[in-house]
Amino acid sequence: MKITRTQNILAAALVGALVFITTIAQAADPLASWNDGKAKHSIIEFVGKVTEESSLDFVPVAERIAVFDNDGTLWPEQPMYFQAFFIFDRIKQLAPQHPEWKTKEPFSSVLKGDLKSAIAGGEHALIEMAMATHAGTTTEEFEKIVTDWITTAKHPKTGRLFTEMVYQPMLEVLTYLRANGFKTYIVSGGGIEFMRPWAERVYGIPPEQIIGSSIKTKFELRDGKPVLVRLPQMNFVDDKAGKPVGIQMHIGRRPIAAFGNSDGDLQMLQWTAAGKGARFCLYVHHTDAEREWAYDRTSSIGRLNKGLDEAKAKGWKVVDMKKDWKLVFPFQKSE
């Protein structure tokens, strides 16, 4: 076949158009840090079907609620919960006012720098330390304490600010969902007032969309000025079976999408999955010992055991961090 000059021009134009379209498509990829694969495709497919008005699975904007665990889902939880580092720093800071801590566990271990022993008491020890270090201030004072800490404290392994260690692929999911009319919430076992001071800046999630564990507060007039005083009494533990309770209390509507990483998120995923219509449940599986950490069924922090089985049985998505994510942290972009 003889190729004419016209055909040549046409071919060149087509190639040009193709390059142009590909470039646009790449530039506009809302999940650019995700490798092509089942996990990425499942997110895009779900968002497509609940937002396309002609779809049988269409969901009105008001009902597009997506909930995210924080520790291990949006940022790491190794070698221990980031809030535990905050608690340890607070204990060191407050120690001069608490001479009894020198001989009282778990405080004495913290002061000796033996963090493993300090958290050996499990959830009970953490709650005791949290109350001792999170109470006794007004809400405004506590917000400042958290802000000062989060903008200066560094992670022991990476030497980075904790807020630099958020998962880039999950930031993209948050942005992608919001661009499609979703309201994104954090539903975390962590302290609600520990997350609020920085979550809007880091995740784009405002204070009113943060659900977490809390201590009680009390309204008082101090010299005529109203304050909320933080008390050393637990108010609510937003973990495991507490997560659906927290969701109902704060949102009053069942989410249509839920993202977690541990057995502590299982009830939240069950609650989300059991609603009518299209639902999306996803577990982040920590499989990347090199770029992050690898742990699951036997880890004392962020154990994913029952959840992994249930995800398989129910067809929930499981993200293989090592395989599915092009990069883990934003700072790896420039490395």
| Site residues (vs a copy of itself, CB under 8 A) | 62, 139, 183, 192-193, 196, 200, 206-208, 210, 214, 217-219, 221, 225-226, 228, 235, 241-242, 244-245, 248-253, 267, 270-271, 274
CA atoms within 13 A on the CB side of 70: 29
Please say which residue, 157 or 201, places its beta carbon nearer to a copy of itself.
Answer: 201
Please say which residue, 137 or 299, places its beta carbon nearer to a copy of itself.
Answer: 137
Please say which residue, 242 or 302, places its beta carbon nearer to a copy of itself.
Answer: 242
What's the closest the beta carbon of residue 226 comes to a copy of itself, in angstroms? 5
* Closest C-alpha to 202, from 80, 324, 47, 330: 330
What's the closest the beta carbon of residue 304 comes to a copy of itself, in angstroms? 19
CB 278 within 8 A of CB 49: yes
Instruction: Give residue for tokens 């070698």.
Output: 79
CA dist., res. 18 & res. 227, Å (int): 62
Task: Retrieve residue 148's tokens.
Answer: 């000062």
What's the closest the beta carbon of residue 248 comes to a copy of itself, in angstroms? 6
Task: Retrieve residue 275's tokens.
Answer: 């609603």
What's the closest the beta carbon of residue 259 comes to a copy of itself, in angstroms? 17
Please say which residue, 253 or 291, places its beta carbon nearer to a copy of itself.
Answer: 253
Burial 22-61 (b: 16+ CB within 10 A, else e): eeeeeeeeebebbeeeebbebbeebbeebbeeeeeeebee
Q: Is 255 left (phi over 0), alpha (psi -120 to 50) or beta?
A: beta
Please say which residue, 153 or 251, places its beta carbon nearer to a copy of itself.
Answer: 251
What's the closest the beta carbon of residue 45 comes to a copy of itself, in angstroms? 25
